[in-house]
Amino acid sequence: MSRFRLAFLLGTMVSSNAFAGCDSCLQTSIESASASINSSLSSLKTTVNTNVSATETLNNTISASSSSLVGLLESQNTQMVTAIDAATNKIILSNDKLNKTIINLTDFMTNEISQAMKSEFKVDAYLRTKETLGPQSQPVSGDIAVNRAPLLQQAIVDFETKLADQLVQFKQWALLKGHKDNGQKLRRREVDKKIEELTPQLDKLTQNLLTEQEVEDLLTLIKLMVLPSPKPTDTLEGEDAAEYYRQLQKKTLAFSVLARDVLLRAPLIETKDWQIGYTKVNDIEGRTSLTEFMLSETQRKYFSPEWHLDIKTKTNTGLLREQVYQTNMTNYLLNELIEEERQTLGLLSFQ
């Protein structure tokens, strides 16, 4: 309500009171004026509340809009940052792959160049040494030695194994226990009978190669001849036991020497894939002996015209190789001689 309207109402009430001249009329006028004033104030309050509510609504709308706008901006910023990060990672990954590709390509090219240079060196070396290392410089005996080496190695292992096994059997024969006198006499008769049966086999020791059965018979014969009457060790005491064991050591050494000589003639080396070379090697069912091998590589080779003709055509390198082969064979034979000397000294020491 405006100030002019309020003044007009107050003036009206005063005028009415003045002219009315009565209290009831004045009271009625005042009440009417108060009601009008209250109505106007209520209307004003309602208007003000409406304006306040509208203002709050507007403020809320503005706040919501601001929040939405801020959220939208933040989402856009996040998406933009994510997109930039993804693009950056892709660029970095692409650069890494490109760098690795370049490195791999460089390594490959370097390896290719290196291999080409090595091949060139090999060709150059081959051309420069063709006369020295060519086919004419390689003796046929060299090929034979290379082919025979693993076969000879296996044969030596078999030889040592068989010799050790024979020594075990001899000790078992020498250390029998629990036999009575009557049993010993019976066994001695059987031993004498077996010795008489196998004695003709001794003539086979002149041969360089024996059959498996001949080797077995000779080993049995030697064992019985060296120790025909083993004593039961559980009945020996004191000096008798000491003397028997001393004699047993000497007899064991004697048996090992003789057994070794027999096994050198046993068929131990395979020859089915063996390039024979200049001389023929005797064999039994595809196997030959160490003795036969040594004869083939020494005496027979030197008496072979083919070997001398082969050596005459070789270069200095080929002759040096052949010299190495022959030196190795000489060392092998020297080792055999040293072993025989050691065994001979061992036998003499027990006399």
Q: What is the pLDDT of residues 164-173, one digit of tens each?
A: 999 999 988 8
3-class SS of residue 203 = helix
Q: What tokens appear for 312 in the block? A: 């005459």
Burial environment of residue 122 by CB neighbours within 10 A (0 to 12, 13 to 18, 19 or more): exposed
Q: What is the pLDDT of residue 166?
A: 92
Spell out a b/e string for 88-98, using b for 16 or more CB atoms within 10 Å of the CB, else e: eeeeeeeeeee
pTM: 0.58
**How many Cβ atoms from other residues are within 10 Å of residue 305's Cβ?**
8
List the chain residues with pLDDT less than 70. Answer: 1-23, 26, 31, 40-41, 44-45, 48-49, 51-55, 58-59, 61-62, 64-66, 68-74, 76-77, 80-81, 83-92, 94-136, 145-146, 177-183, 273-277, 349-351
Q: What is the pLDDT of residue 290?
A: 92
- The alpha carbon of residue 341 and the mean position of all alpha carbons in its chain are separated, in whole angstroms, by 46
Q: What is the pLDDT of residue 19?
A: 42
Q: What tokens appear for 268 in the block? A: 């131990």
Using CA atoms, how far apart are residues 168 and 179, in angstroms rounded to an integer?
Answer: 20
Q: What is the pLDDT of residue 13?
A: 47
Q: What is the pLDDT of residue 331?
A: 85
Using CA atoms, how far apart are residues 334 and 38, in angstroms rounded to an integer?
Answer: 147
Closest residue by Cα to residue 313 from 142, 143, 139, 141: 139
Q: What is the dihedral of CA 147, 150, 154, 157, to 10 degrees?
A: 130
Q: What is the pLDDT of residue 217?
A: 94
Q: What is the pLDDT of residue 248?
A: 87
Q: What is the pLDDT of residue 12?
A: 52
| Residue 284, strand partner residues | 287
Q: What is the pLDDT of residue 214?
A: 95
Q: What is the pLDDT of residue 288?
A: 92
pLDDT in tens, 5-37: 544 444 554 444 444 446 677 677 776 777 777
